């Protein structure tokens, strides 16, 4: 049984088991970088002036992390960021 079949089977029965399986299979660096990108994006799109100024101060960090995964803009949607991260992960596995 392939990993995809196992995940599909667990997903139908329990969300908790699916999360556990994904946590085991996905590298921690991808998860941490995804959280960073979401955080910086949220700061950049905030209406709070202080958060917006901080996000501009660390914009180069966003660009450096995002460049590794093909994320080029803070204004991308969360779905686009997740898709780029998944694409990077799948390319890493296929190599």
Q: pLDDT tens-digit profile of 51-61?
A: 899 888 888 88
pLDDT at 47: 92
Q: pLDDT tens-digit profile of 18-38?
A: 555 555 566 667 778 888 888
Q: Where are the domains of the chain?
A: 27-94
What is the Cβ-side half-sphere exposure of residue 65, based on CA atoms within 13 angstroms? 20
For 22, the token pair is 């994904």
Who wins on pLDDT, 23 or 76?
Answer: 76
pLDDT at 12: 53
57 Cβ contact list (under 8 Å, min separation 6): none
Q: Positive or negative CA dihedral for 88, 80, 52, 63? A: positive
pLDDT at 20: 58
Average pLDDT over residues 69-83: 85
Q: Distance between the two ends of the chain, CA-based, in angstroms?
A: 22
């Amino acid at each position: 049984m392939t990993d995809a079949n196992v995940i599909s089977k667990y997903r139908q029965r329990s969300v908790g088991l699916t999360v556990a399986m994904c946590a085991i299979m996905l590298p921690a660096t991808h998860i941490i970088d995804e959280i960073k990108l979401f955080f910086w994006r949220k700061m950049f799109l905030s209406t709070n002036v202080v958060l917006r100024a901080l996000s501009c101060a660390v914009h180069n960090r966003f660009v450096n992390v995002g460049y590794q995964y093909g994320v080029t803009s803070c204004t991308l949607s969360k779905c686009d960021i997740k898709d780029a991260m998944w694409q990077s992960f799948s390319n890493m596995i296929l190599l």
